[in-house]
Amino acid sequence: MKITRVTATPVHVPLNIRMVGAARPAALGGCLVEVETDTGLIGHGFTSITEETVIAHIIKQVAGPAIIGDDPLAHERIWD
């Protein structure tokens, strides 16, 4: 089994936190990552690191291409 595709989608969910006499805008952010194999298996992960667009770009341009062709079950190899 080999990794054939890695995608990363930034997620930004605006929130409006209401307090007595005030409101505070806030947001939840992260990056949804999808890893697909040549056998059709698809795995999903979610990062909760801030700057979701930066993380998505790094996954798309650096981390994703680095693991294409790797065995998704070789965890130690992928982490290296």
pLDDT band at 45 (very low <50, low <70, confident <90, very high): very high
Domains (range + CATH), the chain: 3-79 (3.30.390.10)
pLDDT tens-digit readout, 5-15: 999 999 988 88
Quote the pTM value: 0.79
pLDDT tens-digit readout, 22-41: 777 788 889 999 999 999 99
Identify the pLDDT of residue 4.
98
**Residues with Cβ within 8 Å of residue 35, at least 6 apart in sequence:** 3, 5, 6, 42, 43, 44, 45, 67, 72
Cβ density class 7-42: b for 16+ within 10 Å, e for less: ebebeeeeeeeeeeeeeeeeeebbbebebebeeeee
Assess whether pLDDT exceeds 90 at residue 58. yes
The label of the residue with tokens 């790094």 reads 58
Phi, psi torsion values for 31, nearest 5 degrees? -140, 125
